Homo-oligomer: A and B are copies of this chain.
């Protein structure tokens, strides 16, 4: 049973098309700019107003748009939420690319082997399973200075050493996205602070015992399987993570 025998919609639904078109439009606008009125926008995008409104509602929920009854719809983003926030999963490579930051893979190791018990648990396979996996381990550096150590554990059924291709630059996420398979839905990332052990201290050029930010992520496909279990260490100061949180009423 592979991940590829699931069927997904071939043509994009109106809603998805509208979402992409809206994002493109927003990208060309500045914070605070007003969008065209709904009837005009719906006509322009070739959909009905209710459909457009459903899409806009999701963008409001994501904090991209702000609506004011009787006034209009505006581009929100007081801060670049989507740029540096943690609500969106994005490879470091792409993040850096967008802010014109040069990154180098200071260290890259690819290996195929059986998953360790901890990795099996992280991949949410039954305890005791023998799971052949691809391990991608790399250290990211900025201007020669190592800032992050990233490790991906991917079951071989989703990705093999050959599947990485020639111009693999380190990001398993990007490979999945470019390939379009498996279709990804969400990621659950656990956030921990951990003291650097000897191995990571050496790799990242910090003192043993210094505080590192550790992110443990599980990347889920549409059919609710873990397709990537990742463990990352970040050197404080070089990367800042933030998260936007809604207030829980009542």
Contacts and interface: CB of A to CB of B under 8 A. Distances in A.
Contacts of A234: 193
Interface string A56-91: 011011110000000000000011001000111110
Nearest to A50: B50
B243 A191 contact: yes
Contact of A242 (B20, B190, B246): B190
Given A53-B50, A187-B247, A193 B209 contact: no
Q: Which of A50, A173, A211 has the most CB of B within 10 A?
A: A211
A213 B214 CA distance: 10
Interface residues of A, number: 55
Interface in A37-64: 50, 53-54, 57-58, 60-63
Given A82-B248, A87-B243, A194-B211, 13 more contacts: A57-B61, A63-B186, A79-B188, A88-B246, A94-B248, A185-B247, A186-B244, A188-B242, A188-B243, A189-B244, A190-B242, A192-B240, A219-B247
Interface of A: 20, 50, 53-54, 57-58, 60-63, 78-79, 82, 86-90, 94, 173, 177, 184-195, 209-214, 217, 219, 224, 234, 236, 240-250
